[in-house]
Structure formats: C-alpha cells, structure tokens
Amino acid sequence: MSGDDVRGQIARVAASDRLLVALDFDGTLSPLVDDPMAARMLPSARTALDALLDLPDTVVALVSGRSLGDLRVIAEHGDDDRLLLAGSHGAEFWLPGEGRIVHDEDPEDAGLRDTLRAHAAAATAHLDGIWIEPKTFGFGVHTRRATPEHGREADALVDALVEAEAPHWRRRTGHNIIEYAFRHEGKDSAIAELRERTDAAAVLFAGDDVTDEDALRSLGSSDLGIHVGVPPTAAAVCVADIPALVAALDLLATERAAVRE
C-alpha cells in the first residue's frame, strides 16, 4: 500500500462521528524489552495519544494481554488518567470514573491458577532465563532471556503440564511468550465491549503480535486495522515500526482536528 493510500485510510477513519482508538502496548507503543515490567511507551507515542485525547468524540484505549495491574504500571496510568484500559486480553477493564471492571470470577479457577503457576515454576526451575509471569487469569512463560534450547524445553514442559491439569484453558503464543488462561476472552471481544461501552461509530486498532490478529479480523468496513511489522496480517495497513505508527497517529490527530472543528 502506498503512502497516499495509507493517508487516505487514515483520513477516512478520522472523519468518523465518534472514534475509538484502541492500541496494543508491547511492541506497538513500547519497544520489546527483556524485563517485561521495564517496558514504557515512547515519549512520542504518549504525546500522540494525548493529542487524540484532547479531540472531541475521540476515545483512546490500551488493549493488552497484560494483567490490568501490570498494564497500569507500565503505562504509568493514574486514577485520573483519561486512557481506557482492557487487560488480560479483555477479561478486565479500567474506565475513567468507574475504575476496575471484571466479569464474574470462580474461586476454583483462581485456585487452579495458583497451583499451575507453582507447578510451572518448579518444572522450569532448572532452565536459565525462563520467567513465569503471574497473570490475573493464568500465567505466561517468558523465554526471551533463555537460549533457544531452554526455551523450547520450557514450552514443552509447561504445555504438557497444562494439557494434563487444565486442558480446557486457552493457550496463546506471542513474541517469546506462551500464555495460558482459564478465561477465554480475546482482543476481539475486548474491542467489541469497548465499542459498545463508548458508543463508537468506528474503531482504529493497532497491534504487532499474533494475539492482535483476532481483533484485526473482527474489524468492520468503517474501521481501520494497523499492523506494526511485516505481513502476513489481517490489517489493512502495515507500518514498519513504532515511530511509523506514531507518525500515523499524529496524522490521525491532525486530520481529525480538521474535520471536527
């Protein structure tokens, strides 16, 4: 797609009556880092989000696989923040004026989660560079700091463990991580719920990972999907990297400011 085509797509969605701009965090606004809790969005990305938040009829949300608590930390999100959040792939939300919103939880699920986390940690303790990340509805196995051999061994061990003890759990793959969860929401359901809660006429969603493809495939003809990276992807637009996405968001803010005057 040419630069003119991309600008045309952004101008189209910028003219929407009420726009929801929903964005993945890791790899989309923040560079991928070895320590997941050290991730922070680029300053230029935060500036672009603030410009969008200042526009009328424009809502901005972060949609992440991170648990809501961790997402608030890495997004430096305060109680007075204007950003909406969808954490745990859409199983928990934070809305301005309402705070945390989560659907019904079963204590038995939480008990199994804690047991499996402990088993996964014990099963991989002999492998250097493996980190078992606690998540609200499960856990993640990070292999970024491990050798490829140790990473493959950790994934195989935990796959077998979850298959034996919780075969009904959802499994997701990402950049150097496999996530396991007893909740089955995805970023597609997160976008659907945010769309309904904000009464958005159109959605722009951007992400970089395979876990974002559910959301990208769920978009309609009035929406716009942007993939950060190279195809294949269900997104209509691909940008090379985070600075290129920031440039697209800056253009969106400029175009939308012009049509909303």
Question: The CATH number of the domain where 242 resides is what?
Answer: 3.40.50.1000
Residue that finishes a domain, picked among 181, 216, 232:
181
Is 240 inside a domain boundary?
yes
Is 220 inside a domain boundary?
yes
Q: Please measure the distance between the N-terminal and C-terminal CA atoms of the chain and give it in whole angstroms.
A: 29
Confidence at residue 63, expressed as pLDDT on a 0 to 100 scale: 98
Confidence at residue 206, expressed as pLDDT on a 0 to 100 scale: 98
Residue that finishes a domain, picked among 149, 181, 213:
181
Going by C-alpha positions, the residue among 102, 17, 103, 92 that lies closest to residue 61 is 92
DSSP 3-state of 46: helix
C-alpha Rg value of the chain to the nearest Å:
19
Give per-10-residue mean pLDDT for the chain (261 aa): 79 97 98 94 98 98 96 97 95 95 81 96 97 92 95 97 95 92 90 96 97 95 97 96 97 94 68
Question: Are residue 79 and residue 197 in the same domain, yes or no?
Answer: yes
Contact 132/117 with Cβ under 8 angstroms?
A: yes
Question: What is the edge-to-edge ordering of all strands in the sheet holding 92-95?
Answer: 99-102, 92-95, 84-87, 58-63, 19-23, 202-207, 224-228, 237-239
Strand partners, 60: 21
Whole-model pTM: value is 0.83
Question: Are residue 84 and residue 207 in the same domain, yes or no?
Answer: yes
Sheet strands (E) in the chain:
19-23, 58-63, 84-87, 92-95, 99-102, 131-135, 138-142, 170-174, 177-181, 202-207, 224-228, 237-239
Confidence at residue 2, expressed as pLDDT on a 0 to 100 scale: 57
d(CA 22, CA 218): 13
Confidence at residue 92, expressed as pLDDT on a 0 to 100 scale: 95
Question: Are residue 65 and residue 119 in the same domain, yes or no?
Answer: no
Question: Are residue 133 and residue 119 in the same domain, yes or no?
Answer: yes
Confidence at residue 102, expressed as pLDDT on a 0 to 100 scale: 86
Question: Are residue 7 and residue 119 in the same domain, yes or no?
Answer: no
Q: Number of structural domains, the chain?
A: 2
Is 100 inside a domain boundary?
no
Residue that finishes a domain, picked among 136, 159, 181:
181
Is 80 inside a domain boundary?
yes
Query: Which segments of 175-240 does DSSP mark as H helices, in order?
Result: 187-198, 213-218
Confidence at residue 6, expressed as pLDDT on a 0 to 100 scale: 86
Q: Report the alpha-carbon angle 247-248-252, nearest 5.
A: 115
d(CA 10, CA 33): 29
Q: Tell me how far CA of residue 220 lies from CA of 8, 18, 192, 197, in angstroms.
A: 17, 15, 11, 17
Confidence at residue 106, expressed as pLDDT on a 0 to 100 scale: 76
28-67 burial string, b = 16+ CB within 10 Å, else e? Answer: bbbebeeebeebbbeebbbebbebbeebeebbbbbbbbbb
Dihedral-angle region of residue 99 (phi above 0 means left; psi in -120 to 50 means alpha; beta otherwise): left
- Domain residues for the domain of 44 are 3-91+186-259
Is 99 inside a domain boundary?
no
Question: Are residue 86 and residue 190 in the same domain, yes or no?
Answer: yes
d(CA 99, CA 79): 8
d(CA 241, CA 33): 15
Contact 171/162 with Cβ under 8 angstroms?
A: yes
d(CA 42, CA 22): 17
Question: Are residue 146 and residue 27 in the same domain, yes or no?
Answer: no
